[in-house]
Amino acid sequence: MSISSSATFLSPFFFYFFFFSLCPLVFSQQSSNQTSTMITLSQLLNNTASPWDITRQRDPCSWKGVQCTGSSVITNLSLSGFGLVTSDFLPVVCKIGSLQALDVSNNQLSSIPNEFITSCGGIHGLKLLNFSKNRLVGSLPTFHGFVGLEILDLSYNSLSGKIGLELDQLDSLKSLHLSRNHFDGSIPTNLGKAKALEQLDLSVNNFQGSIPEQLADYGNLTHIDLSFNNLSGFIPGRIGELSKLEVLILSSNNLNGGIPANFSKLATLSRFAANQNHFSGSIPGELTRYLKILDLSYNKLTGSIPPDLLSQPNLQMVDMSFNLLNGTIPKDISSNLVRLRLGSNSLSGEIPSLTCATLGNLTYLELENNSFTGMIPQQLSSCQNLTLLNLAQNYLTGSVPEQLGNLSRLQVLKLQLNKLSGEIPSQFAQLQVLSTLNMSRNSLAGSIPSSISNLQKLTNLNLEGNTLSGTIPNSISNMSSLIELQLGENRLRGTIPMMPINLQISLNLSSNLFEGFIPNSLRRLTVLEVLDLSNNKFSGEIPDFLAEMKTLTQLILFNNQLSGDVPKFGSYVSVNFSGNPNLRNVTTPNISAGSTNRKKSVAVPIFIALGAALLTLGVVTVVTLAISRRFYRVNDEQLQLGGDLPSPQVIHGNLLTANAIHRSNICFTKAMEAVADPLNITLKTRFSTYYKAIMPSGVSYFIKKLNWSDKIFQLGSHDKFEQELEVLGKLNNSNVMTPLAYVLTTDSAYLFYEYASKGTLFDVLHGSLENALDWPSRYSIAVGVAQGLAFLHGCTSSPILLLDLSSKNIMLKSMKEPQVGDIELCKVIDPSKSTGSLSTVAGSVGYIPPEYAYTMMVTMAGNVYSFGVVLLELLTGKPAVSEGMELAKRVLRYSAQQDKWDHILDFNVSRTSITVRSQMLAVLKVAIACVNVSPEPRPKMKSVLRLLLNAR
């Protein structure tokens, strides 16, 4: 929210300069000199993107990025994204005395030469300097001259140190952007003696101390963004004197005290965000008199919500979640409100009967985790724009209003953990775009309406912990989008109908009254990961096909009446069949109740409508799907002994690495022999199978087979895939697993990586080596993974997003050197670029950020969430999901109570010393910020890394 704003700050200014200020100044006598300067410059630049070539285009004014006046005098130069590495050319630019704007953003410059400052400082007409998104290091240069400079953008660099008088001579400075650097010390107050400053963005740095009240001397300030620093203390009341202030963003600092009452007098202020601080006291009255957007979430605000807070007609978004507010929700709510978040407070009373005749725009309503009582007001059904309704974890009673079925745009409905009774309204069948329905842990009775199968977009259905009776309707098999079905702890009986074929996360029928054989139709669930049939009366044998289900990682059968022999399950499946007295276990002892050999799924619920998508796969056609089924069985345990299957047919192999040692080691033939033998499998994940291959030289490599015939790979052709790999192969970061080579075969792709001898972080943390990692190793792994991710997110061309980040995709070269793997997945399985009816939820269970459920988009913030879960694993020693509960959610419950944080930490590690403990607590703070339920407040990877380094 706060950070991306720098671009929007700038745009009106750019617009102004590019389109309106070109005419007035004329220096016509300079133009022949300028041509020679430009020729010199063209020779210095590596502008391969659009070569400046005097022999092809004689007039430099027609060159890319050059703008001139009508009389051919150069005014603007944009060298953005020219691939510039060295700064030698900069002083030459200053020979263009008519220059008004210079943009060198998006390059790899590491310094601003002194000569540039001295010579360009003399250009009185220079109004804009943009050095953002480079690699500038060191401290801020002191700007002399530059009397006309209005906009200075140095954001997205690595500048550091304190800021004193360096900018004080910039008398015309109106817009200063220093966000995303490593500046520290206190907030600078000498920003031009003339005090002309209008926009100040210092977000995402290490600024400390309190907000200086001298900022109020800059009476023309309209935008202030100080978010994501280490600021402490109060908001000075004088800030309220800034009579032109429009945007004030103070998010994610350590500020405390109250929200100044005089902010309500700022008639220009439209956006105020002070979320994630330690503000306390009550919300001042009239605060929203002029505001459009107010975010005070994650503070310690107390008292009740002032009666007028939500009624102001200008108001669009209010987020007060995660505070200590009590009392009731005011009755009077503005009709323009789009988003209202009041979750995780201590609010009580009834939910007001909002009628959307007046609340036309309400789209997101989140009131979860409060103490609301009474019924769900049926008037909510008039809110036709409502997309998300979360009333979970309150004390709501009565039946669920059938009128909610009229909310035709509803995508997420969460009513779990209340005291709702009555039946599931059959009108819910009209919720055509609903993707998540959670009504678990209520007192709902009656049967599951068969019309529920009309919910063709529903992906997650949770009705667990009610008193539902009757049978599961047969129509359920038509719910082709469903990936999770939780029906445990009800009174359902009868036989189990055909289940929706795309079920993946879980099919949970535990603690009901089911009986009869385990149905054969479950065989069709080829992507299912968790099957829980425990606490029923199932009888007969455990069918063999369960042992052949490729993706199953957890099978829970305890307390039934099963008999016969237990089939042999793969070592990666955790099976619990205790409490079945007539069952004979003739297989290896590692399959037993409460097996520690549990490898939690790394699965990604990706489900697509096959058809058209597959036909476009080029070389990989539907025919190869059939072939691949045969190959795929290579992974089945039963076939392990007869390992002499033919090696895959190589279409094409290519070395990506420039490293001569790897190039001489890698032997494609040897590699293909290795992958033909299932004994070489070292790891299986949802998308890939890792083999260890020993090359003729004796050196081992990982060969990763992408299970790409598995319906999920959206390759247009091999060509595109090869291009993507070429790009990924050039990445150079010691914490990222970059492909060294690849081989394409008729039905698969094989990627070569350096061998990581210690296996995955998951195995080291939760496997047999449990507790093998001391704190220095854990910390070093945390920093390493953060470095890898920050690198991937910061890739200049376009950030590389991870589809599936989990401790299973982090390989360890040593106990201190992690490598982030599976970086190619998002490129290969590109959900956004695919056409047709692909709907994707990416990630592994336990690592999936909550917003993916309805945004259906992989984002950087989503990756940050998954990384936060990995941090929590390192801190707690617990896996991402245990006892049916996600680690992140478990920890977030404590997040408000810092005094309880100690209990979260892995005691075996935290007890080693006081220093270790305090470092762990500091890292925990970072982890909690990363797993924030909403994506906007999560820190970006670069600042996560910085915060981690500071935690030492």
Ligand X SMILES: *[C@@H]1O[C@H](CO)[C@@H](O)[C@H](O)[C@H]1NC(C)=O
Site mask, ligand X, residues 209-238, x = CB under 6 A? -----------x------------------
Shortest Cβ distance from residue 327 to ligand X (Å)? 5
Asked whether position 113 contacts ligand X by CB under 6 A, the answer is no
Nearer CB in complex with ligand X: 361/421: 361
804 catalytically annotated: yes
Stretch that binds ligand X, among 29-37, 466-474, 562-570, 618-626 (CB under 6 A): 29-37
The answer to whether 330 touches 354, Cβ cutoff 8 Å, is no
Residue closer to ligand X (CB basis): 194 or 622: 194
Applying CB under 6 A, among 21, 30, 280, 834 the residue interacting with ligand X is 30
Name 129's bridge partners: 102, 152
How far is residue 141's CA from residue 231's CA, in Å, rounded to a whole number? 24
Specify the stretch interacting with ligand X by CB under 6 A; choose among 55-63, 84-92, 119-127, 251-259.
84-92
For the chain, the 3-state helix, strand and coil shares in percent, each to the nearest 5, are 25, 20, 55
Binding residue for ligand X, selected from 29, 55, 520, 732, defined by CB under 6 A: 29
Residue 44 engages ligand X in binding (rule: CB under 6 A): yes
844 in helix, strand or coil?
A: coil
HEC string of 101-169 equals: EEECCCCCCCCCCHHHHHHHCCCCCCCEEECCCCCCEECCCCCCCCCCCCEEECCCCEEEECCCCCCCC
| End-to-end alpha carbon distance in the chain | 28
- C-alpha span between 639 and 653 (Å, rounded): 27
The candidate with the shortest Cα–Cα distance to 300, out of 259, 260, 328, 250, is 259
Residue placing its CB nearer to ligand X in the complex, 30 or 882: 30
In degrees, to the nearest 5, what angle opens at C-alpha 937 toward C-alphas 936 and 939? 105
Q: Closest approach of Cβ 225 to ligand X, in Å?
A: 20
Among 40, 43, 46, 71, binds ligand X (CB under 6 A): 46
Question: Is residue 281 at the binding interface for ligand X, with CB under 6 A as the rule?
Answer: no
326 binds ligand X (CB under 6 A): yes
Residue among 45 and 896 whose Cβ is closer to ligand X: 45
Measured from the CB atom, the residue of 135 and 925 that comes closer to ligand X is 135
Alpha carbon distance 835, 846 (integer Å): 28
The one catalytic residue in 153, 201, 747, 804 is 804
Residue type, 349: G
Among 194, 513, 661, 772, binds ligand X (CB under 6 A): 194
Under 8 Å between Cβ of 435 and 461? no
Q: Which one of residues 94, 123, 196, 291 is an interface residue with ligand X (CB under 6 A)?
A: 196
Least distance (Å) between residue 76 CB and ligand X: 18
Stretch that binds ligand X, among 26-34, 49-57, 408-416, 907-915 (CB under 6 A): 26-34
d(CA 582, CA 566): 11
The residue from 1, 45, 627, 922 that contacts ligand X (CB under 6 A) is 45
Instruction: Name the minimum Å distance from CB 236 to ligand X.
Output: 20
Among 124, 162, 195, 711, binds ligand X (CB under 6 A): 195
Among 158, 186, 206, 336, binds ligand X (CB under 6 A): 336
What gap in Å lies between CA 482 and CA 477, rounded to an integer? 9
Question: For ligand X, which stretch binds (CB under 6 A), given 40-48, 98-106, 580-588, 682-690?
Answer: 40-48
Taking alpha carbons only, the member of 349, 329, 327 closest to residue 340 is: 329
By beta carbon distance, the residue nearest ligand X is: 360
Provide the minimum distance between the beta carbon of 948 and ligand X in the complex, in angstroms, as a whole number: 32
Identify the helix (H) or strand (E) that includes residue 208: strand 208-209
Question: With binding defined as CB under 6 A, does residue 360 bind ligand X?
Answer: yes
Residue 615, φ and ψ in degrees, nearest 5: -60, -25
Binding residue (CB under 6 A) for ligand X from 8, 11, 28, 33: 33
Q: Phi, psi at residue 332, to the nearest 5°? A: -90, 110
Cα distance between residue 276 and residue 258, in whole Å: 14
**Is 327 near ligand X (CB under 6 A)?**
yes
CB of 390 to ligand X, least distance (A): 21
Please identify, using beta-carbon distances, which residue of 326 and 561 lies nearer to ligand X. 326
In whole angstroms, the minimum distance from the beta carbon of 894 to ligand X comes to: 21
Pick the piece of the chain touching ligand X (CB under 6 A) from 43-51, 542-550, 721-729, 906-914: 43-51
Minimum distance, C-beta of residue 107 to ligand X, in the bound complex (Å): 8
Burial of 887 (0-12, 13-18, 19+ CB in 10 A): buried
Q: Does 85 bind ligand X (CB under 6 A)?
A: yes
Q: Which residues contact 285 (CB under 8 A, 6 or more apart)?
A: 261, 264, 306, 308
Task: Quote the CA–CA distance of 182 and 497 in Å, as a whole number.
Answer: 59
Asked if 84 touches ligand X (CB under 6 A), the answer is: yes
| Token output for 857 | 């988009």
Q: Which position among 21, 230, 256, 335 is part of the footprint of ligand X (CB under 6 A)? A: 335
Residues 829-858 as x/- pattern, contact with ligand X by CB under 6 A: ------------------------------
Least Å distance between CB 485 and ligand X?
A: 37
- In 726-833, beta strands by DSSP E: 741-745, 749-754, 810-814, 817-820
Give the CA distances from residue 749 to residues 89, 643, 705, 718, in Å, rounded to whole numbers and listed in that order.
Answer: 45, 20, 6, 9
Q: Are 948 and 782 in contact (CB under 8 A)?
A: yes
Stretch that binds ligand X, among 157-165, 192-200, 264-272, 408-416 (CB under 6 A): 192-200
Stretch that binds ligand X, among 85-93, 551-559, 836-844, 919-927 (CB under 6 A): 85-93
Q: What mask, x for binding ligand X by CB under 6 A, covers residues 291 to 320? A: -----------xx-----------------
CA distance 242 to 248: 11
Give the shortest CB-122-to-ligand X separation in angstroms: 12
How far is the C-alpha of 259 from the C-alpha of 728, rounded, in Å?
A: 48
Q: Which of 443, 433, 441 is nearest to 413 (CA)?
A: 433
| Minimum distance from residue 908 beta carbon to ligand X (Å) | 38
Measured N-to-C along each axis, helices 860-876 and 775-793 cross at an angle, to the nearest 10 degrees, of 180
- E runs forming strands in 785-919: 810-814, 817-820, 838-840, 881-882, 885-886
CB 335 → ligand X: shortest distance, Å? 4
> Binders of ligand X among 628-687, rule CB under 6 A?
none
- The piece of 17-25, 82-90, 471-479, 599-607 that touches ligand X (CB under 6 A) is 82-90
Candidates 193-201, 417-425, 477-485, 786-794 — which segment interacts with ligand X by CB under 6 A?
A: 193-201
Indicate the residue among 194 and 513 with the shorter CB distance to ligand X.
Answer: 194
* Residue that has been written with the tokens 């969460």 in this structure: 414
Nearer to ligand X, 167 or 810 (CB): 167
86 lies in the binding site for ligand X (CB under 6 A): yes
* β strands within 849-920, DSSP E: 881-882, 885-886
Report the residue number, 384 or 578, with the smaller CB distance to ligand X: 384
Judged by CB under 6 A, does residue 361 bind ligand X? yes
Output the smallest distance, CB 893 to ligand X, in A: 21
Buried-exposed string 724-761: b where 16+ CB fall within 10 A, e elsewhere: bbeebbebebebbbbbbbbbbbbbbbbbbbbbbebbbb
Question: What number of chain residues touch ligand X (CB under 6 A)?
Answer: 22
Token code pair at residue 525: 């669930």
Listing DSSP states for 3-31 in one string gives TTHHHHHHHHHHHHHHHHSSSS---GGGH
Strand partners for 348: 371
Write out the catalytic residue numbers.
Answer: 804
**Which residues of this chain interact with ligand X, rule CB under 6 A?**
29-30, 33, 44-46, 84-86, 89, 194-196, 220, 302-303, 326-327, 335-336, 360-361
